[in-house]
Chains A and B, each alone.
Chain A
Amino acid sequence: MMINMGPSHPAMHGVIRIITELDGEKVVSANIEIGYLHRAFEKECEVVGWGQAFPYTDRLNYVSPLINNVAYAMGVEKLLGIHPTERCDYIRVIISEVSRITDHLTCIAACAMEMGAMTPFIYLMKAREYLYEFVEELTGARLTVSYVRVGGVKGDLPDGWLDRLEKALDKVQIEIDEVDRLLTRNRIFIDRVKDVGCISSSEAWSLGFTGPVLRSTGMPRDLRKDEPYLVYDRFDFDVPVGAVGDNYDRYLVRLEEMRQSARIIRQAIEQIPGGAVQVDLSGRPLTGAQMVDAAKMGMTADLLLRTVRVDPTLEGAGKISAERMNAPAKGVVLPPKESTYGNIEGLMNHFMLIMEGQGIQPPPGEIYIANEAANGELGFYMVSDGSGSAYRVHCRPPCFYLMQGMDRMIVGGMIADVIATFGTINMIAGELDR
């Protein structure tokens, strides 16, 4: 019997179609069809400027958009041969790990819910909400963040953000431990996931698997350890691996990875250089908005001498913070608003970066950048012809290769186990179809 699942199926989050051939309840063969969420990401990148593609990258893996932002920015920076500041690297690590936790929380929550466990879903969504509040405070959005810029980030961390994040991690940890107690030794859950959807490490490797799914087969491959980027080589963390590569291993690997991510964030908070300083030369705090107002009234004489209080809103970004965050590359990074409004060089610099046909112009060449995203290796292959927009951008989504191998994980199993396996693979249609 043929059973068609999807593209819009109540137990499958994400548009994908699985055509299964059944013998009784057993899956004999499976054909996976993708492409239902194709949005021409790569074609659009060729039309817009290098810096304008960030909103599209948000929508690749929409459960951890900050990692996509970071990967894309690192790609353009590699093409340009520039590097942002150390503080910016730390911020990128922190937001990447926060995103990794939210991604894994969503994966385990949805997977458990699809197998009938409603309570963990609610607990984990609560934990995710704690973290989304921080993402929202930092970027202004929960999902469409567009926070990272080529050569830096949009703005510095808000006051006290790191301290509050550290406290929130404790609360998240409590929820994770709660779910750990609810699920890990739960007889019903174990019966559903143990020895289901197995794949061997050699097969996973040959099929291009990366990330938690590959690690669950016992291979300790993690780009953060093997090819450290940003400042990942400065942190002490473990790479959890599974043993047999079944759904239970994938669940356990994700559970442990969240704890390791929290460990990385705590170390990064301790090590991050240059906290937000926030007084002017005479010792008075001054917000960016106040400075812009002063400039509008013509009080520009000592404008550049002042230190501005960091303000994460669009009212005004601090010059000092801009220097602390961004690479000293005038052809890439927008000048701080004080300079744009306060002097002609800043205004011209801003104008040149915004004008069509100008903007960021990397030298002709090609690069590939790989980043350990929540689902595995997220890569960008970029080709520049020296103009203001990309000649070719190709995204290597981790899900694409995972879904390619999914039929081998479900054939031979029960039809009901397709949902469990699909859940632990954590397919995100946004990055699968681009």
Chain B
Amino acid sequence: MADVADNNPVLKHLLDQFRDAIIETHAFRGDVTAVVESARYHDVVLCLRDDPECSFDFLVDLTAVDRLKLKQKPRFEIVLHLYSRSRNARFRLKTRPVPDSDPVIDTVVDLYPAANWAEREVYDMFGIRFLGHPNLTRILMYDQFVGHPLRKDYPVNKRQPLVEERPVHNDRPGMVFE
């Protein structure tokens, strides 16, 4: 943990500011990453955006990972990718919403408007709720859809057609329906 932080000024600064809240750091293949406690998540994102030592003014991406099959607790992980125009640097911030049965986390839409649809997608696909989100509804799936498809316990072959699939009747002689 120490050597990664030594090489990266942003991570070092973040550790100075939030030493008790940063659970884990790594820099696999050069991608600098910090994992923050869910309670301090919003504060850390605010610091990453506004602190002149960080100034990550661009939210590249926000997504989530279901770690059920990695057998790790807590189950879900929110992943943010940030970019700083002035430093031309990238940063990955992760946090783990709790509890596993109904994961909840603060929204960052107030800090990055770009997170709006991304958070809706995470809600849609993983069932993670974002507190304070202006319009937390499904985005890719339809409203009647049951469950959250990117969860690891959602079977890949499960079907929920919105419109019932009609059986094919072979009522025309000479035509073969497979």
* A379 contacts B140, C-beta separation under 8 Å: no
The reply to whether A391 and B29 form a contact with Cβ atoms under 8 Å apart is no
A13 vs B61: C-alpha distance when bound (angstroms): 26
A368 to B60, CA, bound (A): 10
A81 touches B (CB below 8 Å): yes
Does A227 count as interface, using CB distance less than 8 angstroms?
Answer: yes
Nearest-CB distance from A54 to chain B (Å)?
Answer: 19
A interface secondary structure, majority: mixed
Q: Which of B31, B66, B116, B138 contacts A366 (CB 8 A)?
A: B31
A330 interface residue, CB < 8 Å from B?
A: no
Which chain A residues border B141 with CB–CB below 8 Å? 35, 38
Q: List 7 A-B contacts (CB under 8 A).
A: A42-B150, A79-B29, A221-B85, A227-B88, A368-B92, A392-B66, A404-B117
Q: Give the residue of B69, B90, B114, B149 whose beta carbon is less than 8 angstroms from that of A401.
A: B114
User: Distance in Å from the Cβ of A308 to the closest Cβ of chain B?
Assistant: 35
Name the segment of A88-96, A130-138, A205-213, A247-255 touching the other chain: A205-213
Q: Which residues A379-397 have CB closer than 8 A to chain B?
A: 379, 381, 383, 385, 391-392, 394, 396
Bound complex: CA A40 to CA B149 (Å): 9
Contact with B along A23-48 (1 / 0, CB 8 A): 00000000000110010101110110
Is residue A111 contacting chain B, with contact meaning CB distance below 8 A?
no
Known: A227-B88, A367-B29. A377 touches B63 (CB 8 A): no
**What CA separation (Å) do A400 and B63 show in the bound complex?**
13
The reply to whether the CB of A226 lies closer than 8 angstroms to some CB of chain B is yes
Residues of B within 8 A of A205 (CB): 57-58, 85
Supposing A206-B113, A367-B31 touch, asked if A43 and B58 sit within 8 A by C-beta, the answer is no
Contact residues of B between 72 and 118, Cβ < 8 Å to A = 79, 81, 85, 88, 90, 92, 112-114, 116-118
B29 touches A208 (CB 8 A): no
Given contacts A34-B140, A401-B114, contact A370 B60 (CB under 8 A): yes
Bound state CA distance, A43 and B156, in angstroms?
7
Residue of A nearest to B79 (CB): A381
Does A433 count as interface, using CB distance less than 8 angstroms? yes
Bound together, the chains give a CA A78 to CA B31 distance in angstroms of 10
User: In the assembled complex, which residues on chain B have CB atoms less than 8 Å from the CB atom of A227?
Assistant: 88
Cross-chain contact B60 with A385 (CB below 8 angstroms): no
Of all chain B residues, which has the CB nearest A35?
A: B140
Residues of B within 8 A of A47 (CB): 156
Q: Are A208's CB and B65's CB within 8 A? A: no
Q: Give me 20 other A-B pairs in contact (C-beta within 8 A), A38-B140, A394-B79, A434-B140 excluded.
A: A34-B139, A35-B140, A42-B125, A43-B149, A43-B150, A44-B156, A81-B29, A205-B57, A206-B113, A208-B59, A227-B88, A366-B79, A367-B31, A368-B90, A370-B90, A381-B61, A381-B79, A392-B66, A396-B63, A403-B117
Given contacts A79-B29, A221-B85, contact A208 B114 (CB under 8 A): yes
Which residue of A366, A403, A404 contacts B33 across the interface (Cβ within 8 Å)?
A366
Write the residues of chain A forming the contact surface with B, with a CB cutoff of 8 angstroms. Answer: 34-35, 38, 40, 42-44, 46-47, 78-79, 81, 205-208, 221, 226-227, 365-368, 370, 377, 379, 381, 383, 385, 391-392, 394, 396, 400-401, 403-404, 433-434
In the complex, how many angstroms separate the beta carbon of B64 from the nearest chain A beta carbon? 8
Interface pair B69/A391, CB less than 8 Å apart: yes
B177 proximal to A (CB < 8 A): no
B116 touches A404 (CB 8 A): yes
Contact residues of B: prevailing secondary structure: mixed
Contact of A368 among B61, B69, B113, B142 (CB under 8 A): B61
> What residues on B are CB-neighbors of A385 within 8 Å?
69-70
A354 to B59, CA, bound (A): 38
* 8 Å CB contact of A207 from B57, B81, B114: B114
In the bound complex, residues from chain A placing their C-beta under 8 Å from that of B142 are 35
The residue in chain A whose Cβ has the minimal distance to the Cβ of B81 is A368
Q: Which 10 A-B pairs have the closest CB atoms?
A: A208-B114, A35-B140, A365-B28, A396-B61, A394-B63, A404-B117, A38-B140, A392-B65, A206-B113, A367-B29
Interface residues of B in 144-178 (CB under 8 A from A): 149-150, 156
Distance of B74 from chain A, by nearest CB (Å): 16
Give complex CA distance A434, B63 in Å: 14
Interchain CB contact under 8 A, B28 and A366: yes
| Known contacts A79-B29, A392-B65; is-contact A379 B60 (Cβ 8 Å) | yes
Q: How far is the CB of B36 from chain A (nearest CB, A)?
A: 16
Contacts of A403 in B (CB 8 A): 117
Bound form: Cα–Cα A394–B122 in Å: 11
| Alpha-carbon distance between A401 and B81 when the two chains are bound, in angstroms | 14
Which residues in B have their C-beta under 8 angstroms from that of A81?
A: 29
Name which residue of chain A comes closest to B58, CB basis.
A205
Q: Which residues of the partner chain B approach A38 to less than 8 Å between Cβ atoms?
A: 140-141
Convert B112-141 into 0s and 1s, putting 1 for each residue whose CB lies closer than 8 angstroms to a CB of A.
111011100000010000000000001111
Give the distance to chain A from B107, nearest Cβ to Cβ, in Å: 15
Which interface residue of A207, A368, A403 has the most chain B CB atoms within 10 A?
A368
The residues of A that contact B65 with a CB separation of less than 8 Å are: 383, 391-392
